[in-house]
Amino acid sequence: MRSHHSLLTAGLLILLLGGCTKDARQDAAAEKAVLRLAVTTSTRDSGLLDVLVPLFAQEHNARVDVVAVGTGAALKLGEAGDVDVVLVHARKAEDAFMAAGHGVRREDVMYNTFEILGPSDDPAGIRDMEPADALQRIAQQGQKYLSRGDDSGTNKRELALWQEGGGRPQWDGYVESGQGMGATLTMADQMNAYVLTDRGTQLKFKDKISLVPLVTKSPSLRNPYGVMVVNPEKDPSINDKLAQAFVDFIISADAQRAIRDYRIEGQQLFHPLRLAEEN
């Protein structure tokens, strides 16, 4: 009787182990691949990734780990092989990244525009000026100006505008936040200072701040974004296949339409570069 009970127990144990092994195999097969995506804080703060990332993740049964930093930091993550894909907005830096062999593929994705925000009473009197002239006027008037100062794409554009205007003067009102776009907008609002931002983040934050757009229209304010696949030779952990799939996805017609249709309070934030009607 005892022997029969032992055989029965052993049989049940084998069935349970077999079932667990089968479940483990199924769990392993269902385990999601991981894509490490470095993006600018302006891209994250705009809310656009909340639309695009779930679409890609569902389509490829993948998990996307988003690292939001300035463009300079995002490119350094790519150089070190710590991410699979980089989505940034600083074309000269992107070209240098590719030329140095840090990336194996680059594609144009979309663009938005930069804006100079400031107090509604505009004490420096910059409204509707050319961007480079507006920055010089802010300095000449000794007004407060908050720069990101973080080697981001926005910061790189600001530096280019200073250079275009003849260089940045030294004055006490110039302060660097060292923070991302959303945090910088909040700080600028608290300081009642002028600030350069991308339009997407401005629209996302406009109900949280009192600063208003003052300089918005100029070719020098166009802000294009590019996506790059990191060279898989950088590190064995780089998921080149999934990275290529993400690039294919973000320039696909479906994703480009999602970019085009993303709005805040009816206002379009980004313009896709891979749809014929948007070019």
Buried b (16+ CB within 10 A) or exposed e, 134-159: bbbbbbeeebbbbbbbbbbbbbbbbe
Q: In terms of pTM, does the model score above 0.85?
A: no
pLDDT at position 255: 97
**Range(s) of the domain holding residue 245:** 30-112+224-278
What letter would DSSP give residue 276?
Answer: G
CB 138 within 8 A of CB 129: no
145 & 173 share domain: yes
Examine residue 25 and state whether it is found in any structural domain, yes or no. Answer: no
Examine residue 9 and state whether it is found in any structural domain, yes or no. Answer: no
Examine residue 99 and state whether it is found in any structural domain, yes or no. Answer: yes
pLDDT in tens, 119-162: 999 999 999 999 999 999 999 999 999 999 999 999 999 999 99
Question: Residue 45 maps to which CATH number?
Answer: 3.40.190.10
CB 198 within 8 A of CB 156: no
pLDDT in tens, 180-232: 999 999 999 999 999 999 998 999 899 999 999 999 999 999 999 999 999 99
| Burial group, residue 33, by CB count within 10 angstroms (0-12, 13-18, 19+) | middle
pLDDT at position 1: 44
pLDDT at position 142: 98
